[in-house]
Structure 1
Amino acid sequence: MDTPPFPLPGLRVLLADAGQRRSPVLRFELIRLRCQLVDVLDLVAEPEALARSLQRPAPELLLIDCEQPTAGLLAQLAQLNTQRPRPVLLVAEQMTPEQMRAALHAGASALQPAGLPPQRLGALLQLAVARFEHDQALRTELRQTQTQLAERKLVERARGILMREQGLDEEAAFQRLRQLAMTGGQTMASVASRLIDADQLLRPRQ
């Protein structure tokens, strides 16, 4: 068999197999790919096993093989994604479009409907990891953008206070904020926040 284009040796995988139907086949393929199998959960014998898997050695990827993604399974997946995000490959014999959307919303990185041909496992694992890393990068970028926007609003508000209280124009007020930040070894947003707090404290209440 061909080696996956991006090697997977050492990837710690937690396998959740409903009823242990295909776990022997999947175990063999994971061994062939030189992944490290952390544990195998039986979602039929232990329906809440996913929620408890956080107590196990931290896997780098979760592989779920089930008949169909139930609401209970997706709720556990969403909990895992909130507490400790990781790539998730969800394989299901049956999956409606609504279940696909729900699975992606719950944190699945890659979906494989209609079962899993073992020879495709390597490529699907790579897809799950790549999609997870891409989504995490987008979330980080979004958080940074939101933070920058919030900081910009603080600076604009503080600049308005300086213009009102000290009779400065826009550029002079901005330079004053920057000077205060440099002198105190702080960010402009931090100085702006303190100035806004002081203004709210000193201004007479209406």
Structure 2
Amino acid sequence: MNTPSLSLPGLRVLMADAGQRRSPAIRLELIRLRCQLVDVIDLGAQPDALPAALERLAPDLVLIDCEQPALPLLEQLGESLQAQPRAVLLFAEQMTPDQMRSALTAGISLPQLAGLALQRLGPLLQLTLARFEHDQALQRDLRHTQTQLAERKLVERARGILMREQGLDEEAAFQRLRQLAMTGGQTLASVAARLIDADQLLRAR
């Protein structure tokens, strides 16, 4: 998914109304902000409709307006956001500490307590997008770090195999891996993984 711009014109918004019945006023404000309201889900009549709507409509931002967020809704939303991350702005008149923790765990970008003030909607939408972009950047950095660590471990294991099997020292084993990678046009991690797999097959016989 492409990360949405912080610019509001053209922003595709999916709204979920959980009994507050403010969607007409919100629609007018979104029109004024030049956003695009792709749909309004009535969570009172269709409590399980939000995940399917997220998948079908692929909005840039989800706006949830409720009295108090139900834990089943937050759990549903968390599963959907794990598969397809989205910026989510949640308005609630009240939230318990457990509901607040569940909202953050679910991946809601901005839980906003004390309800919806329409004159603040524009800045809150931008803040939600900025928080979402920040969280996604942190996740990308974490995945990159984890990948680098996993690849380093593969290279260390492969170097150990070469040292054991060919009597090489650490530097010579590493240079051997680099040579294999350059010759085959592969990464060090790929060559290391193949070497480890081959060693495991040979040792299993």
TM-score, scaled relative to structure 2: 0.93
> Which residue pairs with 1:69 in the alignment?
69
CA deviation profile, 1:15-41 (whole Å, cap 9, x unmatched): 111235111111111111100000011
Q: Secondary structure at the match of 2:57?
A: coil
What amino acid sits opposite 1:22 in the alignment?
A: R
List, as ranges, runs of 4+ consecutive aligned residues in structure 1 with deviation greater than 3 Å: none
Aligned length: 200
The equivalent of 1:196 in structure 2 is: 196
Contact 1:94 1:114 in 2 (8 A): yes
Alpha-carbon distance in 1 for matches of 2:163, 2:57: 57
> What's 2:3 paired with?
none
CA contact (8 A) 2:19 2:67 kept: no
Q: Is the 8 A contact 1:20 1:42 kept in 2?
A: no
Quick check: 1:19–1:45 contact (8 Å CA) kept in 2? no
Query: Structure 1 residues 20 and 49, CA, compared in 2 at 3 Å: closer, same or farther?
Result: farther
TM-score by length of 1: 0.93
SS of residue in 2 equivalent to 1:56: helix
Q: Does 1:45 align with 2:45?
A: yes
RMSD, matched Cα? 1.3
Q: 1:193 and 1:144 mapped to 2: Cα distance?
A: 18
Structure 2 unpaired stretches of 5+:
1-5
Identity of aligned residues (%): 75
Partners of 2:204 and 2:30 lie apart in 1 by 69
After superposition, residues 116-155 of structure 1 pair within 5 angstroms as 116-155=116-155
Alignment partners' CA distance in 2, 1:30 and 1:117:
13
12-21 vs 148-157, which moves further: 12-21
Once residues 62 and 204 of structure 2 are traced to their aligned partners in structure 1, the CA distance between those partners, rounded to angstroms, is 57
Give the drift of 1:54: 3.1
Assess if the C-alpha contact under 8 Å between 1:159 and 1:177 holds in 2.
Answer: yes
Contact between 1:62 and 1:88, CA under 8 Å: does it hold in 2?
A: yes
Residue of structure 2 in register with 1:104 after alignment: 104
Return the alpha-carbon distance in structure 2 between the equivalents of residues 134 and 116 of structure 1.
23
